[in-house]
Amino acid sequence: MPVAQGVTIDTRRAVIVGLAGIASAIGILVLMLWMADTNDVIDVRLGDSDFRGIDAANLSTEIADNGPVAFPDLVGRDRPIWVVHEGTDPATGWSSFFARVPAKSADCLVQWDTNQNVFVDSCDATTFPPDGDGLEQLAWRVLDGELRILINTPEDGS
């Protein structure tokens, strides 16, 4: 009666395949680390770099009728902004700035005073002109009738 033989393993071939697999895994790991260019700085920027979806003509009319418009920070970082428009051309004349007063408590926000046409610091009644001069200014642009406020790239504050 014939006897069935078990599976024969070529030890040398198995060792070579195993070593090749380990070498490949190490090579891929080194390549991934090199491509990641790891460093200590982590810059997380989620979402758009600008606040968009604002019809410039409609908002300029709203501001002309009712004064500057406040926008709360919708992502919870406590960065509310004010938007102001001067003139009749919705493509020009915009000012946008953070409502927080620089170098003061996070509770110090400016509010619009309709009687005096100025922004007033809620902490000490310091006033700021309608264009927000003295507050942290934000760059803006109008593209195809849409106002876009660059909320992650403040200007130098002029």
pLDDT band at 77 (very low <50, low <70, confident <90, very high): low
Over residues 21-56, the pLDDT tens digits come to 999 999 999 888 877 776 666 665 555 667 788 899
Maximum alpha-carbon separation in the chain: 111
Domain contains 44: no
pLDDT of residue 8: 73
pLDDT beyond 80 at 152: no
Domain contains 124: yes
Domain contains 122: yes
Q: Which two tokens stand for residue 68?
A: 């500057």
Q: State the pTM of this model.
A: 0.65
Domain contains 8: no
Domain contains 92: yes
Domain contains 128: yes
Instruction: Assign residue 88 the CATH number of its domain.
Output: 2.102.10.10
Q: Specify the number of domains making up the chain.
A: 1
pLDDT of residue 158: 39
pLDDT beyond 80 at 90: yes
Structural domain span for residue 67: 51-154
What's the CA gap between 57 and 19, in Å, rounded? 68
Q: Which of 117, 120, 80 is nearest to 96 (CA)?
A: 80
Domain contains 126: yes
